[in-house]
Chains A and B, each alone.
Chain A
């Protein structure tokens, strides 16, 4: 199997400008992936503007020098800095300068400065069946699963190269035959009290990710649409505990009106009945500081907090003040609305630190604290915080996170029962 480029694609790749460089990168990755051709894409979401080292900045600036521009709508994932000034990022001078240059270069390429890991809640929603090139694991999972658009898990460099070329390799989840569910996870035997609780979807996502790995699966036994924020939390947790790019929720997500459609009429390789014990085990795994009576910070918003989630946060706060710092990470699309309604000031007065454009797990915002304990309601934060921040983690519902921040010590009431 070899990759064949169209005449147009070959002509562009033969050039010496930024567009040529992008086309060659897309073509080379297509060759390595075993694709036979490139296909047009409708949009991109770029995860490459997060600073990992100087070479990524130099790459983006090379594209700018070559006059490259994105050919399709391209939103930007979080960067390493909060350009809105809502919070202070503790980066050293060199890293700060290079991160800023990187964010500037991606804007110069024509990308939209959305700086959010939830672009689908910031107005970027491809249509069902559209091929797109999205990066950032939770965004990929949501785009494929909830919107029904088609993307592989695009990584650094390839996401922007696809956006400039307007093309992506035709392989993986772009192809219908690879989108069928091969495993079924049946949750119908789980207690209704758990399924209706605040912790249900992040915990289910974490369990599902470990069961599915990189396979496409379908969840059965869900009786009603849980809402977008629940699906957002499920996908983020699943993509961090497994390599999940596409999941189906039968009766909820667009490619799974029923089991037969989700599986393409083929018998699944495996059907797993989720038990309360499996869910309780998943819940336990999300915490690395179980039993701790210490609490140093609470972090919310991975993926970025929505307006609805801010409203829930306000309800739980009920005007009380906080004894430990509470970080709420969000996109500027939400920050603008909070600002205009006066809610931003009220939240900050209560002691909430709003983090915009970035988040506390990808860049240093929280105090550096040996042995610190962080509480979160995000399955994704719970997964990455110990390695990336040095804090140990307690996983809890939003209600418990807020109650704990108010009390200054961990209060965990929501469990699997």
Chain B
């Protein structure tokens, strides 16, 4: 596999780059991610203590509350959102946070879809996600 894959755009937004943060387990944004900092506060999550802020966040799935959209909106407004998001499947509740952020006129990261098996490929690398959905390793 090359260093570039074509993702499907789920919610269009700003191109982003950053270190890949490949989550090892699904996460509930509400109660799992601190809306004020982006830190993963779910003590049961394998990446507890890591921050999603400024990363290219690879999500294997989400669980839990319908207030996930509120947490993501708060992260976008506070400047603690991931710089891009890569999901295995569309999560309407979480992504609504990005839809609303766009409506508010706030700079919003692009969210794309890639099958889960491909997430591993980017672990530990520096990534860019472009506006057309291309996910590429830059370092």
Contact = CB atoms under 8 A, between A and B. Distances in A.
Q: Which of B67, B76, B97 is the most central at the interface, judged by chain A CB atoms within 10 Å of its CB?
A: B67
B96 A59 contact: no
Contact of A52 (B10, B71, B76, B96): B71
Contact of B103 (A21, A32, A153): A21
A105 to B, nearest CB: 14
Interface string B60-103: 00000111111101101100000000000011110111011001
B104 A56 contact: no
Interface stretch (A23-31, A36-44, A246-254, A316-324): A23-31
A55 B104 CA distance: 9
B66 A387 contact: no
B104 A62 contact: yes
B19 interface: no
A79 interface: no
B38 interface: no
B7 interface: no
A153 B104 contact: no
A135 B66 contact: yes
B109 interface: no
B103 A52 contact: no
Interface string A140-175: 000000000000011111100000000000000000
Contacts of A52: 30, 35, 67, 70-71, 74
A34 B70 CA distance: 22
Contacts of B30: 52
A155 B103 contact: no
A58 B93 CA distance: 19
Contact of B90 (A25, A32, A137): A32
Given A52-B30, A55-B104, A158-B93, 19 more contacts: A21-B103, A29-B96, A32-B11, A32-B90, A32-B96, A34-B90, A52-B35, A53-B71, A53-B73, A53-B77, A55-B73, A56-B74, A59-B104, A154-B66, A155-B93, A156-B67, A156-B70, A156-B96, A157-B73
List the 5 shortest-distance A-B pairs measured between CB atoms, nearest first.
A155-B66, A53-B74, A32-B92, A52-B70, A55-B77
